[in-house]
Structure 1
Amino acid sequence: MAEHLLEIRNLSVEFHTATGTVKAVRDVSWHLDRGETLAILGESGSGKSVSSSAIMNLIDMPPGRITSGQILFDGQDLLQLPDEARRALNGCRIAMIFQDPLAHLNPVYTVGWQIVEAMTAHGTDHATARAEALRLVTRVGIPNPQASLAKYPHEFSGGQRQRLMIAMALAMKPDVLIADEPTTALDVTVQAEVLSLLEELKQETGMGILIITHDLGVVAEIADRVVVMNAGEIVESGETAEVYRNAKHPYTRKLIAAAPGKGVFHDPLPRAEAVLSVRDVVKTYSGFRALDGVGFDLMAGECMAVVGESGSGKSTLARILLRLEEPDGGKALWQGRDLFTMSPAELYKLRRDLQMVFQDPTQSLNPRMTVFQLISEAWIIHPEILPKPQWKARVAELLQQVGLSPAMAGRYPHQFSGGQRQRIAIARALALEPRLIICDEAVSALDVSVQAQVIELLDKLRREMGIAFIFIAHDLPVVRDFADHVMVMQGGKVVEQGPVREIFEHPRQPYTQRLLAAGLDPDPEVQAQRREARLGHPAAMQPGI
């Protein structure tokens, strides 16, 4: 019998690039046992995803190369197996859930076909596979499972697609499940449901779960042990609670200190004359009312957070305020002028004052333009902002402000991680020196320390320059630290709004209370109390948690 279900010993991985050799993983060792959840925690570039890709034989070689080490599964070194033998293990005994389910589900096949194919590829007959696919889809909580098997990936929400990937990964009852950032883009309640589902399935099957994340709350919620990586090396490891309470390495302490949700509440700004007044906004799609009488006031220099689950109308509201879509009714007065009745020429002049940072930078950044071109394009459209001889210096300054190197200005979007692309999108919005920035999940994909850095930057800009923010987010600790005012949406309606302290400490509506209870805390002890409260033990919930 092998000592551990899965064990990595002294693994080193490097990549050969045009600028030299990058040592992505350096002499890494860790193990995973049956019925255990191990978290690999670290920021972008730490090597956590590369080490897991090596397990599944997903590293492109070349340019990648495994220079040393062993990957032992049930005592057998996977690196010594032929490719055919490894393919027989992948998906059958070792399965993986990826960060972006839409990118890893085939858009031209139904989800039922894809789940069935995952089983028939390993020898299961079609009838048995079809019956098991229906059972799995039901088990992961997809509504109307029989009809859902005939649907395509784009017909599901992000949380549902992630559940479908879990169903596919569990089809062959694997011994090891690797989950790479499985909840990054999910709403807070869906995130709690997915993590709870993974824990239930682990208890049912006895599989070991390897979860790769930059979110300390996810670690506190689900992990038994944690391995902390930085610059390709393991800097600390141990029991989750022990590492949180008594972190020894400076990098681990920095990550814990950067976790949001522990700072003081912002004192609300005086509710003077609003720079933006929204009244009774309505938007309907084919009989479905996406926005139903939404209204609020936003002051100069104020941050108003908009929270709620997918489908609540948050992003629809953002697009309508920028006239990327047209409303069916209502008003949006910007400094007394109705945005909804402005002509295209009037809107063109106003565009530099109203900017948006979209949720998915991959879709909002032109892949054919360099970072320098993406940022400086704003000054081509609005040449009065900055003379051309100053463009290079200003681009360098903006990149430094969002935590990137000026040397990256000549690169293209595909050469960056998701978090780095989001920072480029923020720099591009700041280039126009706007009066209002709408952030649609703008920091959800960022590492915890970079997230803290970007939030600090945005906070500084609004206090020094009077920039107002509409901050759409599902990360409640970030909202707690950054926002002055919170608006809670459900089903296209505003169910509650008020100062951030009032909403977080004294929520009035059951829906708001449920959202706050589903949030994750980086402290394992606090998170254990929240989990007990969520499972039906209200006495375990302490005031202010």
Structure 2
Amino acid sequence: MAEPLLDVRNLSVEFHTLAGIVPAVRNISYRLDRGETLAILGESGSGKSVSSSAIMNLVDMPPGRIASGEILLDGKDLLKMTPAERLEVNGRKIAMIFQDPLSHLNPVYTVGWQIREAMTAHGTPRGEAEAETLRLLGRVGIPEPERAMGKYPHEFSGGQRQRVMIAMALALRPDLLIADEPTTALDVTVQAEVLALLKELQRETGMAILIITHDLGVVAEIADRVVVMEKGVLVESGTVREIYHAPKHAYTRKLIAAAPGKGDMHPPLARREPLLTVRDVRKRYGAFEALKGVSFDLAAGETLAIVGESGSGKSTLARVLLRLDEPDSGVAEWKGRDLFTLSPAELFRLRRDLQMVFQDPTQSLNPRMTVYQLISEAWVIHPDILPKSKWRARVAELLAQVGLSAEHMSRYPHQFSGGQRQRIAIARALALEPKLIVCDEAVSALDVSVQAQVIALLDGLRRDLGISFIFIAHDLPVVRDFADQVMVMRRGEVVELGDVRQVFDAPREAYTQALLAASLDPDPEVQAAHRARRLEPA
């Protein structure tokens, strides 16, 4: 066998904490050849990001420590290099792009300066670096690259910022590109564009790509081989097709079984009296028209999914319906009463019927409050719902309802995983026994198995308690599994509205068809067929 570009041998990484030594990565080994794409697949806490950070020398030491192993790049052990030697390798030989480019781009410098500085720091003359920066921005698809060079990171969309990060990473033509969850927060069409760009650049430059992800669709789209990690251990490896069609390890089988978009869709519901009737809702922010006459009906016990790209108006609509923002015009009748004309006192009483679960529970849960305080706060605000003597028992019931236990009520949010925090946020919303819950990207940041558990929980609440949901999401396979109706939005307008089966099996509008075509399938055979159709000449 030819010598691999990257050869990780028996790598172990541990962290020293007050509770003792925590092994994050335990004795893992894998190889990556030139021009190849290897995916490290696993959920939060599996050690996949720690192992890639060790390659880039980004593990904080202390408290972290490389306990054992070798990381060979072109046969040279990165762990034995001096700081000066590592400085020469990082950027020139190995580059990295991250999940959240806004956190890794300096907000006080223009993107042109930052890309140029990546080259001048390694000795590239300024004039040459300037010309290469312009070329790279154009190559990664940034509009008007000359003007873009003088802009700051906040002036770009999420997908454009990721493209800027890719341009910066490629500035010195590295042999290896490490991509750590590079598309998790992106719209489905932008995700497809970024992955296609990475493959295209790989063909041009011959670089190897190491992609870290929990998304089987991303693996099917871009990877050649996969290694699967669980709790710091490499449990399985093989080609994408071997791993998907013939997984050997129970954890791999669990991940594949949890992948959304493969179950039965909800059958069409019989038309019922609307619980919420929305007609011609409009909202403008200055010269920007965020909502352009949105209308729909929602019945009791029904789930309406709202899909569309960033800027389509999904979250604005949710905020307007809950009166977190005021509409410019339109009607939203809740049980025959217009939400938009209610007085503050009337709206306060109605709040218990309308609750919201946000995308990031870390930001929506007060870190200084225990779980008991977070959930019982609803009864402090609405004291007529439940006498204080029954609060503790009711909190225990709500925690059990969302798959947690009574012993969790004395803990704080930081002591839970992301999926557990989202369950707490759902329990908090349920405390007021609402009739409608608005979920704004409530599962988009969760691991695939946790996501499946939360969706099953919400679906059970819909069936058992008759709760209606407005479910805002960009993950179409999740929508397919959970929704009764789907509303597709684009630039503030509804472009398609129908039962989930009609929208997914026979979409009428070209925009809906484009969204579905860009959605990633975990089955590599299906995804290969999707990719071939996308590449067909129009």
Change (3 A) 1:32 1:420: farther
Query: After superposition, what is the alpha-carbon deviation per residue over 1:19-62, rounded to whole angstroms, capped at 9, x for unaligned?
Result: 23221111111111110110011111111111111111111122
Change (3 A) 1:174 1:512: same
Partners of 1:495 and 1:193 lie apart in 2 by 22
Describe the SS at the equivalent of 2:278: strand
Contact 2:312 2:492 in 1 (8 A): yes
Shift of 1:256: 0.7
Partners of 1:407 and 1:124 lie apart in 2 by 59
Describe the SS at the equivalent of 2:280: strand
Residue 226 of structure 2 is matched in structure 1 by 226
Letter in 1 for 2:274: A
Letter in 1 for 2:110: T
Change (3 A) 1:170 1:391: farther
Query: After superposition, what is the alpha-carbon deviation per residue over 1:303-324, rounded to whole angstroms, capped at 9, x for unaligned?
Result: 0011111111111111111111
The yes-or-no answer on 1:536 pairing with 2:518 is no
Residue 541 of structure 1 is matched in structure 2 by none
Change (3 A) 1:385 1:131: farther
Change (3 A) 1:327 1:46: same
Partners of 1:149 and 1:403 lie apart in 2 by 50
The yes-or-no answer on 1:174 pairing with 2:174 is yes
Residue 63 of structure 1 is matched in structure 2 by 63
Partners of 1:58 and 1:407 lie apart in 2 by 37
- Unaligned 5+ segments in structure 2 are none
Contact 1:402 1:453 in 2 (8 A): no
| Aligned sequence identity (%) | 75
Query: After superposition, what is the alpha-carbon deviation per residue over 1:272-300, rounded to whole angstroms, capped at 9, x for unaligned?
Result: 11111110011112222111010000011
Contact 1:2 1:74 in 2 (8 A): no
Contact 1:224 1:239 in 2 (8 A): yes
Residue 77 of structure 2 is matched in structure 1 by 77
The range that moved more, 90-99 or 38-47, is 90-99
The runs of at least 4 aligned residues of structure 1 exceeding 6 Å deviation read: none
The range that moved more, 270-279 or 362-371, is 362-371
Partners of 1:489 and 1:380 lie apart in 2 by 38
Partners of 1:107 and 1:409 lie apart in 2 by 39
Contact 1:43 1:447 in 2 (8 A): yes
Shift of 1:432: 3.0
Describe the SS at the equivalent of 2:22: strand
The range that moved more, 353-362 or 27-36, is 353-362
Q: Note the 1:87-106 alignment, pairs <5 A.
A: 87-106=87-106
The yes-or-no answer on 1:381 pairing with 2:381 is yes
Residue 331 of structure 2 is matched in structure 1 by 331
Shift of 1:441: 1.1
RMSD: 2.0
Change (3 A) 1:367 1:183: same
Contact 1:306 1:488 in 2 (8 A): yes
Contact 1:16 1:64 in 2 (8 A): yes
- Unaligned 5+ segments in structure 1 are 539-545
Residue 53 of structure 1 is matched in structure 2 by 53
Change (3 A) 1:395 1:164: farther
Shift of 1:513: 0.7
Query: After superposition, what is the alpha-carbon deviation per residue over 1:385-435, rounded to whole angstroms, capped at 9, x for unaligned?
Result: 444455555555555655567666555555655555444433332333321
Residue 438 of structure 1 is matched in structure 2 by 438
Partners of 2:5 and 2:267 lie apart in 1 by 51
Contact 1:44 1:419 in 2 (8 A): no
Q: Note the 1:257-276 alignment, pairs <5 A.
A: 257-276=257-276
Partners of 2:390 and 2:88 lie apart in 1 by 58
Describe the SS at the equivalent of 2:177: strand
Residue 43 of structure 1 is matched in structure 2 by 43
Contact 2:419 2:451 in 1 (8 A): no
Residue 117 of structure 2 is matched in structure 1 by 117
Q: Note the 1:388-537 alignment, pairs <5 A.
A: 388=388, 391-392=391-392, 394-395=394-395, 398-399=398-399, 402=402, 412-413=412-413, 418-536=418-536
Change (3 A) 1:385 1:72: farther
Partners of 1:442 and 1:26 lie apart in 2 by 32
Partners of 1:406 and 1:130 lie apart in 2 by 60
Residue 235 of structure 2 is matched in structure 1 by 235
Contact 1:41 1:214 in 2 (8 A): yes
Shift of 1:373: 3.6
Partners of 1:194 and 1:246 lie apart in 2 by 29
Partners of 2:27 and 2:385 lie apart in 1 by 50
The range that moved more, 11-20 or 405-414, is 405-414
Partners of 1:375 and 1:432 lie apart in 2 by 9
Shift of 1:108: 2.1
Letter in 1 for 2:358: F
Shift of 1:497: 0.5
Contact 1:403 1:450 in 2 (8 A): no
Describe the SS at the equivalent of 1:438: strand
How many residues align? The count is 538
Residue 156 of structure 1 is matched in structure 2 by 156
Residue 206 of structure 2 is matched in structure 1 by 206
Partners of 2:167 and 2:405 lie apart in 1 by 41
Contact 2:221 2:524 in 1 (8 A): yes
Contact 1:278 1:333 in 2 (8 A): yes
Partners of 1:131 and 1:412 lie apart in 2 by 52
**TM score, norm. by length of structure 2:** 0.95
Describe the SS at the equivalent of 1:135: helix
Q: Note the 1:271-350 alignment, pairs <5 A.
A: 271-350=271-350
Change (3 A) 1:405 1:447: farther
Change (3 A) 1:416 1:53: farther
Contact 2:301 2:466 in 1 (8 A): yes
The range that moved more, 71-80 or 352-361, is 352-361
The range that moved more, 400-409 or 1-10, is 400-409
Letter in 2 for 1:314: K
Query: After superposition, what is the alpha-carbon deviation per residue over 1:443-493, rounded to whole angstroms, capped at 9, x for unaligned?
Result: 111111111100000000011111111111111111110000000111111
Change (3 A) 1:197 1:340: same
**TM score, norm. by length of structure 1:** 0.94
Letter in 1 for 2:341: T
Contact 2:137 2:145 in 1 (8 A): yes
Contact 1:2 1:75 in 2 (8 A): no
